[in-house]
Structure 1
Amino acid sequence: MYPIKIKRLPGYNHAKIPQRMSEGASGFDIFAALNEPIRLKPGERRLIPTGFAIEMPEGIEAQIRPRSGLALKYGISILNTPGTIDSDYRGEIGVIVINLGQEDFVIHPGDRIAQLVFMQVPKITIQEVEELTDSKRNTGGFGHTGR
């Protein structure tokens, strides 16, 4: 188990802490910490505050991911998805929401707008070499295996 500390930020007394909505959920739902509703027109994007910051142990990252129901029903998604939150970041978690739908979409205070998923990050070292070993794919690029 990894301890994740969450701090409600000043001025956000009404902000909700991320919650798992079912026992088997991989992610924690994130709620909009708004004072009033905001309207997103088709194609519009906004940074939505959450009212909290987190502290994670080194070797853990948090990812902000879209909610599938909002994507399917309304065309609402998250830009820069998955958004990466590094273990040494201590600022407010914000969610960049975009309306890819054809209708205006209203986000109300307390609405669930995204998911927060925690992942383990392996320690990696980069080693520069003159040659790479061959593979079956080699340099086959986008779509090289067909449709």
Structure 2
Amino acid sequence: MILSDRDINKRIAQTDIVITSPDNDHHGNVNASSMDLRLGKYFKVYRHSHHAILDPADPEGFANLTDLITIDQPGQPFIVQPGEFILGVTLEKIKIADDLVARVEGRSSLGRLGIIIHSTAGFVDAGFEGTITLEITNINRMPVALYPGMRVCQLAFETMSSPADVPYHMKKTSKYQGQELPQESMINNDPELVRHHRHLKTNHVQTKQIDLPQSISTTRQC
């Protein structure tokens, strides 16, 4: 069951939903059946010229995949180029109770500019705490400016049939609990891939790493 604005505010008052932000200016962002979240100032851009492929079974290859870009100057946008995929983060940090889940949805106003806010990771597990990493893609043929502090996505909350026995904050394999910056994929820590990598090392099997010329520029303008 999706929570209405009345129930969202009620669960906030009961601290089952906790929303915090640096400026504490998020209280008016509750809609009829969702809550708006704003874009943070941190972005991560993939180093395309350093890696030819992304191999989930290669933890060494997952190191230094991205550059962190911080937009500190008020009013300065981050320009998302056509076809570009970047990681952003919400300004707000959320914490949800063990009997609630949340779904991240993009805003239609940004969708009409060709901005996709999340690729597949729109589900927030019961008991999660942290900022939400946004998988942002520009499918427009024109660059699009995104401003830190602008409303960028919305959360819809749903009640579960009962509280989780092992909520996200208690799960041993939770990888993103407490995240604050945009967090790259940690799929290489999945147990099945860890076992696969261990098997390759034990049997001295090497995966071929293809490196592109270092002369290719990785600089960009925000």
- Structure 2: gaps of 5 or more residues: 1-6, 42-71, 163-222
In the alignment, residue 34 of structure 2 is paired with which amino acid?
G
Deviates more, 1:34-43 or 1:77-86: 77-86
Normalization by structure 1: what TM-score?
0.67
- Structure 1: gaps of 5 or more residues: 124-147
User: Take 1:65 and 1:86, find their aligned partners in 2: how far apart are those partners?
Assistant: 15
Deviations 1:87-130 (A, max 9, x none): 2222222222211111100101211111111112335xxxxxxx
Question: In the alignment, is residue 100 of structure 1 matched against residue 139 of structure 2?
Answer: yes
Q: Output the aligned Cα RMSD.
A: 2.2
Task: Tell me the number of residue pairs that the alignment of Structure 1 and Structure 2 aligns.
Answer: 115
In the alignment, residue 103 of structure 1 is paired with which amino acid?
M
* Paired residue secondary structure (2:130): coil
Instruction: State the partner residue of 1:51.
Output: 91
| Alpha carbons 1:64, 1:95 under 8 Å: kept | no
Deviations 1:43-100 (A, max 9, x none): 112222223322212221111101112112x111123346111122222222222111
Instruction: State the partner residue of 1:42.
Output: 82
| Alpha carbons 1:32, 1:111 under 8 Å: kept | yes
- The structure that is helix-richer by fraction is 2
Query: Percent of pairs identical after alignment?
Result: 27
Q: 1:71 aligns with which of 111, 114, 126?
A: 111
Q: Which runs of 4+ in 1 moved over 4 A?
A: none
| Alpha carbons 2:104, 2:122 under 8 Å: kept | yes
User: Take 1:80 and 1:59, find their aligned partners in 2: how far apart are those partners?
Assistant: 25
Normalization by structure 2: what TM-score?
0.46
Instruction: State the partner residue of 1:121.
Output: 160
In the alignment, residue 152 of structure 2 is paired with which amino acid?
I
